[in-house]
Each structure stands twice: as structure tokens, then as C-alpha cells.
Amino acid sequence: MPKILISYRRQDASDATTHLYEWLERKYGRDNVFMDVKSIPAGVDFRKYLQQAVSNSHVVLVVIGPDWLVDPQWNRRLEDACDFVRVEVEAALDRDIRVIPVLVREAVMPRPEELPETIRDLAFRNAVRVRPGLDFSTDMERLIQQLDSLPTTLTSAPLPPDLGLNSTAAPPLEGFTLQVPEEAKLQLDAMIDNSLGTQMALILPGDFVMGSPTSDDPVRVRETPQHRVRISKPFYLRVHPVTQK
């Protein structure tokens, strides 16, 4: 099942994106569709936070409306290197994640010369159009067919260094669950026995969330707050616990 990130501008295509999200949520579930960073923690670099969200996705849908490129005051939004949409598209293209432009409200694809060099490849991505009214259902079914055909193994492109996600300042990304790389799953079939006959499984580098999400349970209060932990080097872990017996 694909993990989908929806990139859009609220002032440009909020209503259309909301309908798009609702359809995809019903099809794939809330944990597999990421539309908004509702609350980026204070002190966290939002560029790296968005890059992390993109890295956890199989596909990025870039919703393009009439004011996506230029706002009503004729300001070219994408000239700003800190523009949220630009950061998301740059991260997806840099990691070779599938990027699908979604045209709404009679929007047209931007020309290459209208885009910053770092996201110019977006102009050459084949777009889909999602029309309102009676055509909406037909267009969404066509888009879902495209999404269903995507491979669901996350890319192995490296994340940007020093994400700042190994502290309590940055909670887990909303709308996403931990992804187990396909190569890690394969290791379960390739466990080794050490000289003592103990089964060991290879733990690959990656990130995971440690701790309990709530402190209401007096037993689990010692496991809060949740925090993201990064494993930087591979190691072998015994498959079964060591007991006193």
C-alpha cells in the first residue's frame, strides 16, 4: 500500500485538496496519507522536517491550482528557497521519489523556465487532471489506478544529516508509521547462529520511535516521552530473550 504525501498551497487549492485527501484516506487509510504539517515543533528546522516526511513517502502529489506559481499580488512564490512547496518538491526529486502533478481548477503545468533550477524537472512529469463536479469521481478513480501500480518499497536515498529528530523536541511525524525496509524483512530469513548456537538477526541502520505515547498508565509513565532514535551502524541482535533459566 503506497504512502502518499500531498503537497499544496492553502491559498491556491485548499478545497480541491481536501476532497482529494478524503478520497485517498478512504482508500488507503489515514496513516498512509499525509497532507499537513499541522504543528512543526519549536526549534526544529522545518525544511528537514518536511524532507523527513517526503522520505517516508512512496509518492508525492503536487496539487497545482491557478495561483500555485504566482500569488494574486504577482509574487513568484517558488523564488523563495524556504517556500514549503519548493522544499517538498526538491526533496522528492532529489530522492527520486515519484512526483505526480495534480492539476485542479483549470490550472496548467508550469513551463521549465518558470521554475527554479532545483525543481525544473517537475515540468516534465506527466500530470493528471482532477476536475470538479460529476467528473471528480472518474478522475479520482483514474488517479487511484496509477497509485495502485506504484512499487511500495521506500527508496534508500540517504536522509539529510543532523535531522534533529533524536530528541524530545521533535515528535513522530503525524500521519506516518514506522517503515520497515524490505531488505530488513529479508534478514529474517537469513539469520545466523553464533558459536554458542544462538540465533542472531541483523539490525540495519535506521530510525524508530522509542517510548510510550501516553503517561496515563502508571506502569508506562517511565517510558515517556516518546523520542526518535537513530541506529547509525548495523549490529546483530539475539532473536530470543535471555532468561534466568
DSSP assignments along 41-55, one per residue? PTTS-HHHHHHHHHH
pLDDT attached to residue 234: 80
Q: Which pLDDT value is given to residue 86?
A: 92
Question: Residue 161's pLDDT band (boundaries 50, 70, 90)?
Answer: very low
Grid cell 522544499 is found at 87
pLDDT at position 156 over 90? no
| Selection from 5, 105, 15 nearest residue 64 by Cα | 105
Backbone φ and ψ for 85, nearest 5 degrees, come out as -65, -45
**Average pLDDT taken over every residue of the chain:** 79
Task: State residue 124's pLDDT score.
Answer: 94
Residue located via cell numbers 524537472: 121
Res. 231: pLDDT tops 90:
no
The beta strand positions in 108-214, using DSSP E, are 128-129, 192-193, 199-203, 206-210
Per-residue pLDDT, 169: 37
Phi and psi for 24 in degrees, rounded to 5? Answer: -70, -35
Sign of CA dihedral 92, 60, 56, 71: positive
Q: What is the pLDDT of residue 7?
A: 93
Top-confidence residue, 129 or 222: 129
Q: Are 202 and 194 in contact (CB under 8 A)?
A: no
* Structural domains in the chain, sorted by start: 4-148 (3.40.50.10140), 182-238 (no CATH)
Q: How confident is the model at residue 144 (pLDDT cuts 50, 70, 90)?
A: very high
Q: Which residue has the higher pLDDT, 10 or 169?
A: 10
Max mean pLDDT range (33-47, 67-81, 99-113): 99-113
